């Protein structure tokens, strides 16, 4: 493990330390986890929008075409 300088007080601390033992400033990576969570939510949201605006209209369109085909077959067939 490497020793790094505390960004707040300049005390030499482990880069694995969650907080500075000298000044107590937190190096918790929860903000990083939060940003990863936000990225996941954005990706899920994009997938949801893709499904809602692309996949469902395409499926509905295909079903309508199939229904129209059945209708035409019944009327003219």
Summarize as ranges the residues that interact with Zn ion (CB under 5 A). 6, 8-9, 11, 20, 22-23, 25
Cβ-based nearer residue to Zn ion, 25 or 34? 25
User: In the bound complex, what is the minimum distance in angstroms from residue 35's beta carbon to Zn ion?
Assistant: 23
Q: How far is the CB of 52 from Zn ion (least distance, A)?
A: 49
Confirm if 53 and 46 have CB atoms less than 8 A apart: no
Distance of CA 3 to the CA centre of its chain: 33
| Nearest to Zn ion of 9, 65 (CB atom) | 9
């Amino acid at each position: 493990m490497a020793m790094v300088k505390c960004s707040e007080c300049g005390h030499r601390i482990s880069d694995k330390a969650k907080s500075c033992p000298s000044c107590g400033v937190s190096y918790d990576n929860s903000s990083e986890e939060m940003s990863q969570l936000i990225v996941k939510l954005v990706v899920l949201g994009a997938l949801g929008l893709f499904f809602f605006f692309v996949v469902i209209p395409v499926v509905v369109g295909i079903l309508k075409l199939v229904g129209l085909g059945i209708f035409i077959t019944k009327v003219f067939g």
